[in-house]
Amino acid sequence: MKRMLAFLLLFPVIAEAQYSKFSPPNRIYDGLFTDIQMNRIFPDNKTFVDCVPLRDPQAILADYLKLKGNPNVRYSLKMFVDKNFSLPSKPASNFSSSAEESVTQHINRLWGGLKRVPDKQVKGSSLLPLPYSYIVPGGRFGEIFYWDSYFTMLGLQTSGQYEMMENMIKNFSFMIDNYGHIPNGNRTYFLSRSQPPFFSMMLEVLSEPKGEKVYADYLSEMQKEYDYWMDKTAATRHVVKMPDGSILNRYYDQDDVPRQESFYEDSTLAINYKGDRKVLYRNLRSGAESGWDFSSRWFADGKTLATVKVLDMVPVDLNGLLYHLELSLQKGYEQKKNSARANYYKQQATKRKDAINKYCWSQKEGWYFDYDLSTHSLSNEMTLAGLSPFFFRIAPQPYIIPASKVVESQFLKAGGVVTTLKNTGQQWDSPNGWAPLQWMSIKGLDNYGSKTLASEIARRWVNLNIKVYKATGKMMEKYNVVNTTLTAGGGEYPSQDGFGWTNGVLLKLMHDYNLKGN
């Protein structure tokens, strides 16, 4: 602990973040925040940043500093927190199932437990109020999460909850209009970054019941979303120029301090770090923006978190999402009868598609990889993101033949498809499987005619979900797809239950592939 305190004195880890007028907890509570997080008052650092103050935050901080500064007073930091803050609720306690309840019945009941009504502003709370009701992931995640919500909506669609789907899209539109982008989640400490940009994919789902007019209805928000990722509204540095001058994108968090919700972990990792700690922190934050936090996908040595280099990577799936956004902008401008703008985005999508195929496809491996800017070559890490160009219909048709062989020989496991081929102890590595990647892989294979393999992955994943549900009464955040008798693990926090995107993908797969739950 003395070593940690020396580190904190030598390298201040609270910096002025550019969060506009919004103050995340580290800025509001200053030294109190650092003391709480570094002393592990709560095992999970996300607990305190989600706490709600019971009185004026400035008064709480002033009282704490007086207490701490008085050598004649002995105090309990935990008791001080309990006296001055209310802890976040634990909705997972309501998620147990009844003995006779099928998985479909359970999930349809879960939507009520995961629902949040429009928020009210509370001074000193990290929660950014939203004007419409929404669905949260569950467990430690008591706010709306950006990319989670697309996969959750697949289940809401299957359940016929179209109003809730559009309410969530309206909330994301509200955030785009008010913050200039969709943050990781509706928390002040998430404002420095976004997440995989699934907004246009959400509109695609909504267009099924409401028609293609949704692209015109939400055109302004799609344009703002695109401008954010293309560095047109702020110097976000998401854009990278490839060797031939073509434009692709990367993840890039706008801050360079430890993540507030993982403050202890990031600060501890930095103690023995030999390079620029600000670069380390920005890489960790950018890994969180990717949603894959964390994975060997981002590690220079393919093994250890301290070598994280997200800023150097051009992710193949991120660029697939932006390709989809460009095509969606084309649709929106066509709806508005603006042929010049529609043609512009059609051209941008074509250029991006060509660049993805040029820089991310390996003819030798028969697989798509991220592109490493630091080595000017493909990444060494083979991951399930390599199927995303098939999901977005970017890949030439012949590529499905070698890619399907790679899936069958490398990624297909007893419970579905595994995220990567390495077991590093990180949660986005083997042996874990995740609902969003199952969905994108299955639909990508299906799009290109590899239907038998797609159906088999769907069957294995559905069976695993139902097996775990029957044993535990819960829907989990992630699953061990290699050994289906074991639970998933790894990462910074225990596996959570609830769980929004698992529920959504399971219901959709059961519906689309005629798979029956018991």
Residues with a known catalytic role: 293, 477
**Distance between CA 308 and CA 301 in Å, rounded?**
9
Maximum Cα–Cα distance for the chain, whole Å?
76
Q: Are 367 and 386 in contact (CB under 8 A)?
A: yes
Q: Which residue has the tokens 């990290």?
A: 126
Q: Say which residues have a Cβ less than 8 Å from residue 383's Cβ, sequence separation at least 6.
A: 295, 297, 370, 419, 420, 421
Q: For residue 302, what are its two tokens?
A: 């393919």
**Distance between CA 362 and CA 380 in Å, rounded?**
11
Q: Are 297 and 428 in contact (CB under 8 A)?
A: yes
**Distance between CA 501 and CA 517 in Å, rounded?**
17
Q: Where are the alpha helices (DSSP H) in 85-130?
A: 103-114
CA distances 290 to 148, 151, 197, 253, 361, Å, are 12, 16, 10, 10, 20
Which class for 81: exposed (0-12), middle (13-18), buried (19 or more C-beta within 10 A)?
Answer: buried
- Among 390, 368, 391, which Cα is nearest to 381's? 368
Q: Are 185 and 141 in contact (CB under 8 A)?
A: yes
Q: Are 177 and 233 in contact (CB under 8 A)?
A: no
Q: How open is the CA angle 45-95-430, to the nearest 5 degrees? A: 60
Give DSSP secondary structure letters for 185-196. BSBGGGTT---S
Q: How open is the CA angle 480-434-49, to the nearest 5 degrees? A: 105
Query: Under DSSP, is residue 516 helix (H, G, I), strand (E, B) or coil?
Result: coil
Look up residue 1 and give its amino acid.
M
Q: Measured on CA atoms in the order 443, 449, 450, 455, is the torsion positive or negative?
A: positive
**Distance between CA 104 and CA 107 in Å, rounded?**
5
**Distance between CA 506 and CA 151 in Å, rounded?**
10
The number of helix segments (H) and strand segments (E) in the chain equals 20, 15
Q: How open is the CA angle 146-152-154, to the nearest 5 degrees? A: 120
Q: Say which residues have a Cβ less than 8 Å from residue 158's Cβ, sequence separation at least 6.
A: 504, 507, 508, 510, 511
Query: Under DSSP, is residue 422 helix (H, G, I), strand (E, B) or coil?
Result: coil
Which class for 20: exposed (0-12), middle (13-18), buried (19 or more C-beta within 10 A)?
Answer: exposed
